[in-house]
Structure 1
Amino acid sequence: MLSASVLEIRHLRTLQALRDSGSLVRAAQLLNLTQSALSHQVKLLEERYGAPLFERKSVPPQFSAVGSRLLQLADAVLPQVEAAERDVARLLQGQGGQLRIAVECHTCFDWLMPAMDAFRARWPEVELDIVSGFHADPVGLLHQGRADVAIVSEVDAGDAAAVDHHPLFAFEIRALLAHGHALLAKAWLAAGDFADQTLITYPVPDDMLDLVRQVLEPAGVRPARRTTELTVAMLQLVASGRGVAALPLWAVQGYLDRGYVAARPIGPQGLRGELHAACLPQVSARPWLQDFVAVTRETSFVTLKGVELL
């Protein structure tokens, strides 16, 4: 007769995270655990069943027969658990609602659309919409009642009391250059390297450009500028030697893999950007908003290369 099961919901989530993220390190980040805590969970299960759950040296993890069977259980059980929790939230707080999303970054749509698709499947009764146009002050739309969530790159201390900021993820911003560019001889670029270049950006205020705000402005560097609305146009200009640009690595990884342009880190530690979901406190209290943040974090972490959860 089998002894009492040691399996818990958290163990099943751990197995899914290992598969979806591809490594112990990333799975721990996805679950907001330390790597040692995650390893302890795995060790507990392996001791209980007397067999390894996956091959330690393989990346991504190759699950054993035992691990695969438990993963099948996780895939069957966890969707039912999550659906039941959403049903309970609907019973307690009512159904329906509207989620209007405003963005301040041109590349946000690359990851926002998959996240919205995943959220829509979980909360079909919530009306999803993107506030049309680019907005230099998306948080202002929250106060005006024109948006429910604003995707922002900075947490404004002045808004801290009136606006909730839910951290999403961090990412590296790389300098993009044409093949054969002289700056490719450097391992990383400093502010002064941009001084005699033409910097191609989106047509937005400088305080919304991480490269300008974090690197160039503090160093007093003001390169020549050129703007374009489209990411693909920016990359085409870079590829043809008309200037340099700086974009999130996840947004241009496909172009780098195909050799369309080249890239270099900005600064010895790299240039880091962040994204947060801002909303008013009364919106934060809605269960579907909390799920939107969770789904967005998980979807982006699994699908975008090189992002780190905040």
Structure 2
Amino acid sequence: MQSQLELRHLKTLLALAECGSVSQAAKRVFLTQSALSHQLKALEEAYGLALFERKTQPLRFTPAGERLLALARDVAARVMQAERDLARLREGEAGELRIAVECHTCFDWLMPAMDAFRQHWPAVELDIVSGFHADPVGLLLTRRADLAICSEAEPQDGVVYQPLFAYEMVLIMAKDHPLAAKPVWQAGDFADETLIHYPVPDVMLDLVRKVLKPAGVNPARRTSELTVAIIQLVASRRGVAAMPFWAVKPYLDRGYIASARIGDAGLQSELYAALRQDDAGLAYMHDFLHTVREQSFATLPGLSVLA
């Protein structure tokens, strides 16, 4: 009997598992939501079984869907390994990948991705350019780095940007803060607060750049280099902060702090990988970006696809 399954079906199932919704999965595999829904419906009709439970958030697979998802993970891993082997035959196994970052919370997802990448490309020299860099793209152009993690894709000659993912920034505050029960904060709610943030320029703070500055709100400030220090200051009512949801979720789950959405639609931030145009075709560079996305969507809560 000829199988109904195609590689595109397996990719769709993986995207559904990683993104948790049909709309986000459609973006991940570059389809419209309608086209992806039609693909799933056709697959379910072919097998006479539902693959996931509708109207659940995040999406939940049925036993039939879980079985195909397991197959998808196995096949995807084998395909990627075969393609790596072919790339090594074509380009060689060695190379250098020095990474510069501008975000203090990048290491939460960057280190696991680097560990997975080392298993794929053991002969590629992988390193992080020491220190925090306000202009990591500048390090590319002076060849002091080979890849830069940045929050904006500003056009520059000789540099290409690859989207990694988007995520929500949430407000965190002490559990006994007077506004702890308020689910959504607007710009004006920050006026009488002390805003705690990393010691970076305002242009690199999405809360200031996208929310407070347009509203003419300029609260008192306090800075700290360490994420855990910011969380401790917030918990002890020294101020409030805006942090990625995935970075503070463990503290929220333990009831250490409280959180709120920033603005009715939430405050969305983005991360991109910048690399030199003449390096964009390198197989190990492409694989590193794939590994970052795969690891991040699999382990960090609340990510969304960045077009």
What's the TM-score, normalizing by structure 1? 0.90
Q: Which residue of 2 aligns with 1:250?
A: 246
Is the alpha carbon distance of 1:237 and 1:39 closer, same or farther for their aligned partners in structure 2, counting shifts above 3 Å? same
Would you say the 8 A contact 1:301–1:309 is kept in 2?
A: no
How big is the shift at 1:126? 1.7
For residue 254 of structure 1, what is the amino acid of its counterpart? P
Report SS of the residue matched to 1:183. Answer: coil
For residue 119 of structure 1, what is the amino acid of its counterpart? F
For residue 60 of structure 2, what is the amino acid of its counterpart? P
Q: Does 1:266 align with 2:255?
A: no
Identity of paired residues, percent?
Answer: 61
Would you say the 8 A contact 1:23–1:61 is kept in 2?
A: no
Is the alpha carbon distance of 1:69 and 1:260 closer, same or farther for their aligned partners in structure 2, counting shifts above 3 Å? closer
Q: Which residue of 2 aligns with 1:13?
A: 11
Q: Which residue of 1 aligns with 2:162?
A: 166
Is the alpha carbon distance of 1:73 and 1:211 closer, same or farther for their aligned partners in structure 2, counting shifts above 3 Å? closer
1:9-53 Cα deviation digits (max 9, x unpaired):
112223334444445444434433333323323333333334444
Deviates more, 1:9-18 or 1:222-231: 9-18
Is the alpha carbon distance of 1:186 and 1:54 closer, same or farther for their aligned partners in structure 2, counting shifts above 3 Å? closer
Is the alpha carbon distance of 1:73 and 1:266 closer, same or farther for their aligned partners in structure 2, counting shifts above 3 Å? closer
For residue 285 of structure 1, what is the amino acid of its counterpart? G
Q: Does 1:195 align with 2:191?
A: yes
Q: Number of aligned pairs?
A: 304
Q: Which residue of 2 aligns with 1:212?
A: 208
Q: Which residue of 2 aligns with 1:43?
A: 41
What 5-or-longer segments of structure 2 have no aligned partner? none
Q: 1:307 aligns with which of 279, 303, 306?
A: 303
Is the alpha carbon distance of 1:19 and 1:223 closer, same or farther for their aligned partners in structure 2, counting shifts above 3 Å? closer
Q: Which residue of 2 aligns with 1:281?
A: 277
Report SS of the residue matched to 2:184. Answer: coil
Would you say the 8 A contact 2:163–2:272 is kept in 1?
A: yes
How big is the shift at 1:236? 0.7
How big is the shift at 1:124? 2.1
How big is the shift at 1:133? 0.8
Report SS of the residue matched to 1:297. Answer: helix
Question: After the TM superposition, which segments of 4 or more aligned residues of structure 1 sit over 6 Å from their partners?
Answer: none
Report SS of the residue matched to 1:265. Answer: strand
* Residues in 1 aligned to 2:72 and 2:171: alpha-carbon distance in whole angstroms: 41
1:173-217 Cα deviation digits (max 9, x unpaired):
111111221233533222222222111111111111111111222
For residue 194 of structure 2, what is the amino acid of its counterpart? T
For residue 149 of structure 2, what is the amino acid of its counterpart? I
Deviates more, 1:12-21 or 1:217-226: 12-21
Would you say the 8 A contact 1:115–1:296 is kept in 2?
A: yes
Q: Which residue of 2 aligns with 1:79?
A: 77
* Residues in 1 aligned to 2:123 and 2:51: alpha-carbon distance in whole angstroms: 39
* Residues in 2 aligned to 1:17 and 1:71: alpha-carbon distance in whole angstroms: 10
Q: Which residue of 2 aligns with 1:227?
A: 223
How big is the shift at 1:69? 4.8
What's the TM-score, normalizing by structure 2? 0.91
* Residues in 2 aligned to 1:264 and 1:20: alpha-carbon distance in whole angstroms: 25
* Residues in 2 aligned to 1:255 and 1:51: alpha-carbon distance in whole angstroms: 40
How big is the shift at 1:226? 1.0
* Residues in 2 aligned to 1:221 and 1:54: alpha-carbon distance in whole angstroms: 46
Would you say the 8 A contact 2:50–2:62 is kept in 1?
A: no
Would you say the 8 A contact 1:169–1:276 is kept in 2?
A: yes
For residue 109 of structure 2, what is the amino acid of its counterpart? W
1:247-302 Cα deviation digits (max 9, x unpaired):
11111011111111111111222111110001110111111212221221222122
Q: Does 1:147 align with 2:129?
A: no
